[in-house]
Structure 1
Amino acid sequence: MAERKIFDLFKTVPVVGQAYGVVRGIAYGMKGDEDETKHSLEFDLTSLNPLRMIKSVGMGIVNMTNDLDKGIWIGRRSLGDQPLSFSLLPGTDAFHWSIQINGTIYQLLKTNQHDYIEIDISSQNEQCSAYEKGCKRFSWQCVHLRSSIDETTLRNYAKSFESYKYKAILPDINETMNCQFFVKLMFAKAAGISQKEAATVILLSMPNFIY
């Protein structure tokens, strides 16, 4: 896990991060670890912007000094199996998002039944293999050091969105939802802050094409 934190720190540094990722990806590929291989080779094209490096390194240091199973973390991974993605603004990118709160991953998925959504919940005690896969596959960013909201309340809140339909772009949040908006609402609930405050923290913390 220590090596993973070091890699995630250097991953967004232009050239160095990409070279590290290729070597790391080959190593994990030889071990048969598909999730770590994909994580290693995944590349956000906006990482080439040198203006992002200072912010990325700073946020990487925050991640290194905190444990993934404590506090609130937002995860991103590229869509499907393609390694290249692009961040325009938080919520407007080619990534799938999830949120981890005190060691439990909450993830919005699209079902095949009339575009309704399903909320997948995993942890060390529930769907352990899916939880471990998520910890490896997503790139995680710590956005809040603690949550005092109990797991039952968070679970019920997350599951309440299963009556919504999936809409990838500009959901209305009353009847439709996508993974980015779901993460924002869960973050606000878990941190005990307003949706506007949650959106501001996400804007400042998550990668985008400017910084």
Structure 2
Amino acid sequence: MSDENYYKLINIFKSVPGLNIPFSAGLALGALFNGDTEMFKRSGEIDPVLIFNPLKCLGNLRKHIMAFFRDYSDGIWIGKKACGNQIFGLTFSPGFDLYQYAILIDGNCYCLKSANNYKVEIKITKDSNEIQLYTWYPSSKQNQRLNTTLKEYARSMESFSYSILPLGKNQINSQLFCNLMLAFASKITPMKAAFEMTTTVGTFLI
């Protein structure tokens, strides 16, 4: 089984109500025992909302089963992971949650990172190890741009400054970055892209 399908299966089992917590804990303990810190974070990561909302689990389960039959190299995917070295995030809605986001477009992963003095850095990679750090949700939108055009657009956002809550001019965070990339790639408005991200990733209710 490929690493991609292995992680997709992990996502499926972590979305089964009642199974998600013990399954994640078991994987995390196994990874910790083997000294695999990256796997510990990836497998042990959980949204506390899933503990109290089985409907959220079922919504994720449906999305991850659909994702199993799609390839990361095809189409647009929205990814998220807990910030920093944490294993807990909290979902309200994309743009209002405690996660780091990335976007995968036809096999290229675009992620925004903050450096010193709130400087923005854009990383573009096909590295499967980097890609597998995120939990990916398939978008219904398709890419309408050339890869070179997408890369140029992504790099242009390095002129922005990083802010956890980007309310000012030329401020950005990972959620807003993914929103703008999705809008640009699929040739839709940022408002429509925000709605697409919400239906793709979900809220704390679904």
Does the pair score TM above 0.5?
A: yes
In the alignment, which residue of structure 1 is the partner of 2:183? 188
- Counterpart of 1:51 in structure 2 is 55
Q: Do structure 1's residue 105 and structure 2's residue 101 form an aligned pair?
A: no
Could you tell me how far 1:156 is from its partner in structure 2?
Answer: 0.4
| 2:174 aligned with 1:179 | yes
Report deviation, 1:29: 3.6
- Residue type of the partner of 1:119? I
* Correspondence for 1:167 among 131, 141, 163: 163
Unpaired runs of 5+ residues, structure 1, are 124-130
Tell me how far apart the structure 2 counterparts of residues 29 and 71 of structure 1 sit (CA, whole Å).
34
Check the 8 A contact 2:108/2:125 in 1, yes or no: yes
Deviations 1:67-88 (A, max 9, x none): 1121111111111212111111
Give the letter for the 1:121 counterpart: I
Mapped pair 1:82 → 2:86? yes
- Does residue 96 (structure 1) correspond to residue 65 (structure 2)? The answer is no
Q: Which amino acid aligns with 2:75?
A: G
Which amino acid in structure 2 is aligned with residue 21 of structure 1?
A: S
Tell me the residue number matched to 1:126. Answer: none
* Change over 3 Å in CA distance of 1:13–1:186 after alignment to 2: same
- 8 Å contact kept, 1:117–1:162: yes
Question: Pick from 13, 16, 25: which aligns with 1:10?
Answer: 13
| Distance change in 2, residues 1:158/1:10 (3 Å) | same
- Give the equivalent residue in structure 1 for 2:150: 154
1:28 aligns with 2:24: no
CA contact (8 A) 2:141 2:186 kept: no
Distance 1:141 1:171 in 2: 26
Instruction: Give aligned-pair identity as a percent.
Output: 28
* Aligned residues of 1:171 and 1:178 also touching (Cα < 8 A): no
User: 1:24 deviation in Å?
Assistant: 2.0
TM-score between the two structures when normalised by the length of structure 1? 0.88
d(CA) in 2 for partners of 1:144, 1:156: 24
Q: Does 1:70 align with 2:74?
A: yes
**Structure 2: gaps spanning 5 or more residues:** none
Retained in 2: the 8 A contact 1:72–1:100?
Answer: yes
Instruction: After TM superposition, give the deviation of residue 32 of structure 1 in Å.
Output: 4.2
CA contact (8 A) 2:46 2:89 kept: yes
User: TM-score if structure 2 supplies the norm length?
Assistant: 0.90
Q: Report if aligned partners of 1:44, 1:85 keep a CA contact under 8 Å in 2.
A: yes
- Quick check: 1:35–1:136 contact (8 Å CA) kept in 2? no
Q: Contact (CA 8 Å) 1:70, 1:145: kept in 2 or not?
A: no
**Separation in structure 2 between the aligned mates of residue 97 and residue 35 of structure 1, nearest angstrom:** 17
Q: Which residue of 2 aligns with 1:42?
A: 45
Give the direction of change, closer, same or farther, for the CA distance of 1:170–1:183 in structure 2 (3 Å limit).
Answer: same
Q: Displacement of 1:187 after TM fit?
A: 0.8
Secondary structure (helix, strand or coil) at the match of 2:92 reads strand
* Bigger fraction of residues in strand: 1
Give, as a single letter, the amino acid of the residue that structure 2 aligns with 1:158: A
Question: Would you say the 8 A contact 1:75–1:99 is kept in 2?
Answer: yes
* CA RMSD in angstroms, aligned pairs only: 1.7
**Correspondence for 1:207:** 202
Structure 1 pair 59/183, CA: closer, same or farther in 2 (3 Å)?
Answer: same
What do the CA deviations read for 1:142-187 (whole angstroms, capped 9, x no partner)? 1136323111000000011111111111334x41111100000101
